[in-house]
Structure 1
């Protein structure tokens, strides 16, 4: 599959931002492994011609089509919230529940939550591509895969387009995104298909397995960390069913952990532009009395 044509938008959709005046139960979407090589020269030319009335875009900012917020996705998040009893965690509870925290817990200890979003997003995309585009033979498997993919792509969309809604300062999130885009271009230079990207990730994974844990945390790129984590996750899973169950539960838990915010202005601003799912989650946790998130992913 050609990466340049995956999630292709019509020229009109590409030039004109979507106009949404009310919440339409839609999720924005961004896939880093598809969008990293995007160079928005048309958009930025339009920005220049309009004297920046149209905001310029950064390298790699390739907007995907919005996806409907299905019952499976919203239900998984609400179930996770109910199960948490108001004690939000950053995905580590899912790993503990499945006996994976000793092997994979390092991937929930990054200095910035934007790093964690992008690492797990790349892992989820890799698993999705490796599993093929066909539906699973079991309905539960398909639902879990849908939940994981939609929430992963939505969180990546927030990093790329609405970083103000995330816990890290927006300028830090933007810096991490820009750096990751450039790193992806370096790592996947010459890759033109999903299969070639998957093969390159396998090469990176094999190389990273030789490094020490301290080296992974200190110097490896987002892509290198994701390649290693993806391999470790696959090795820990005995079947596809459990793989997608873990990823679905992880993202449902993690997105709730991202929701508490004291930046009311961005939620008001986005409501005026049609709303974001994250605003609904922010309201959910706020009304439950959760105003802040615990440090380090530990429960409140």
Structure 2
């Protein structure tokens, strides 16, 4: 029980998760039993965190600016950052700043998938199922836990992704290749990615007030603050089929 990581107040931090780094993590068996299950959710394969990062002023400013770009009350699904006219926009930040915004927000949203699916729009069981599939696929792909990060990336670059359309990890590799082939340079790549994850932060929050409220006694999550902000601005997501 002493090894259980209890929830701490938010403290203006973004918790982070990386599938490529943590897919091979296996929880300590001694804390996954009937006794502990009554007090803490049992951890799953691949479910561990990397060090959190402080919520920077650059991230806050970037998200606020992206909200100001909308001229409609309906949020999109990340398309605005990928439109051709946006790809050609002039860079307004240092390349390193775009890199920081993109990586911090993408790893934070990955953390929400892995640890707090109730705060996301989809049904938690569906989100958990997708997470389990991604971890299983990564384990099957890389096999040995000793494979370095550079080697993992090289393996993804060398795989024939056209033969594995249903594989989540390989779909990500395919998307990365396509993206790199149509964007002019590395600076522009991080600019578009930063814009994309800023936009996705507005799409991420669940509308279930009870789910957000459950996390508030321990300080809540940044996504809850975004949800309150967007709700008061009367901005709504475009509905999915059947939603």
**C-alpha distance in 1, partners of 2:120/2:97?**
26
Q: Is contact 1:47-1:54 (8 Å) kept?
A: no
1:258: Cα distance to partner?
1.9
Deviations 1:133-163 (A, max 9, x none): xxxxx96100100000000000000000000
Q: Is contact 2:80-2:86 (8 Å) kept?
A: no
SS of 1:94's equivalent in the other structure is: helix
Higher strand share: 2
Aligned position for 1:160:
114
1:50: Cα distance to partner?
4.2
Tell whether 2:229 aligns with 1:274: no
Q: Which runs of 4+ in 1 moved over 3 A?
A: 97-100
- Aligned pair partner of 1:60 in 22, 28, 46: 46
**C-alpha distance in 2, partners of 1:144/1:99?**
15
Deviations 1:184-210 (A, max 9, x none): 111112361011101111112xx12x5
Tell whether 2:152 aligns with 1:197: yes
Deviations 1:7-35 (A, max 9, x none): xxxxx7xx2324424x4111111000011
Aligned position for 2:181:
235
Aligned position for 1:151:
105
Aligned position for 1:6:
none
Tell whether 2:237 aligns with 1:293: yes
Tell whether 2:207 aligns with 1:253: no
Aligned residue runs from structure 1 range 44-123, under 5 A = 44-48=29-33, 50-52=35-37, 53-85=39-71, 86-98=73-85
State TM-score, norm by structure 1: 0.72
**C-alpha distance in 2, partners of 1:198/1:26?**
28
- Aligned pair partner of 2:207 in 262, 268, 292: 262
Higher helix share: 1
**C-alpha distance in 2, partners of 1:284/1:175?**
29
- Which segments of 5 or more consecutive residues in structure 2 lack a partner in the other structure? none
SS of 1:56's equivalent in the other structure is: coil
**C-alpha distance in 2, partners of 1:51/1:248?**
39
- Larger deviation, residues 68-77 vs 51-60: 51-60
1:73: Cα distance to partner?
1.0
Aligned position for 2:94:
140
